[in-house]
């Protein structure tokens, strides 16, 4: 296939380096088992401290997102998601905002959707319950909408008013 063995080794090495560059989490993702049953979505291994510190980002590749500018909705889907991350919005969340959760469904594993402000967990949204909202009045510091999951499949649709 290649004229000499050295060329083949160089091409293979370039291929391996390219894989590592484009897929840095390949093989590093933590895998969690759902030890608390299918109907219990509470986290087993990821703690509040892990979420607040933001140290567990190993599964960020498990989320896809879409922002619908027409009606201001944000849409996130997690497949076998492990870790925690802030869900991005076009503008920073402020005390003038209200978060309206139109859908937060968990179909596998464990997941939490929560509001984090000034390095404190302020509010948890209930999985598989639509029509939830939370006003950000009187909160201090940076405000984030955070999802955390352990081998979870989830869908979140929300608006920020």
Q: Helix, strand, or coil here: 13?
A: helix
Q: Report residue 144 CA to chain centroid gap.
A: 12
Res 8: pLDDT: 66
DSSP H helical ranges for the chain: 5-22, 48-53
Decide if pLDDT at 120 tops 50: yes
Res 97: pLDDT: 95
CB contact at 8 A, 125 and 114: yes
- β strands within the chain, DSSP E: 63-68, 73-86, 98-117, 120-125, 132-135, 143-160
Res 30: pLDDT: 60
Share of the chain above pLDDT 70, in %: 78
What is the distance between the alpha carbons of residues 141 and 76, in angstroms, rounded to a whole number? 25
Q: How many CB atoms lie within 10 A of CB 153?
A: 17
DSSP H helical ranges for 36-81: 48-53
Pick the most confident of 5-14, 24-33, 127-136. 127-136
Q: Helix, strand, or coil here: 55?
A: coil
Res 145: pLDDT: 94
Res 69: pLDDT: 59
The model's pTM: 0.76
What's the pLDDT tens digit per position in 63-113?
777 766 567 789 999 988 888 888 888 888 999 999 999 999 999 999 999
Res 135: pLDDT: 97
Kindly indicate the confidence band of residue 25, based on its pLDDT and cuts at 50, 70 and 90. very low
């Amino acid at each position: 296939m290649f004229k000499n063995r050295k060329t083949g080794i160089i091409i293979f090495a370039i291929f391996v380096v390219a894989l590592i560059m484009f897929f840095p989490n390949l093989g590093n993702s933590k895998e969690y088992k759902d030890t608390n049953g299918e109907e219990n979505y509470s986290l087993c291994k990821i703690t509040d401290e892990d979420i607040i510190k933001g140290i567990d980002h190993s599964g960020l590749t498990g989320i896809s997102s879409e922002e619908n500018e027409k009606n201001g909705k944000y849409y996130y889907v997690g497949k076998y998601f492990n870790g925690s991350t802030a869900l991005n919005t076009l503008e920073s969340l402020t005390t003038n905002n209200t978060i309206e959760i139109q859908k937060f469904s968990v179909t596998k594993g464990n997941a939490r959707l929560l509001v984090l402000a000034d390095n404190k967990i302020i509010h948890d949204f209930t999985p598989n319950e639509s029509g939830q909202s939370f006003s950000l009045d009187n909160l201090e510091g940076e405000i984030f909408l955070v999802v955390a999951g352990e081998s979870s499949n989830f869908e979140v649709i929300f608006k920020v008013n």
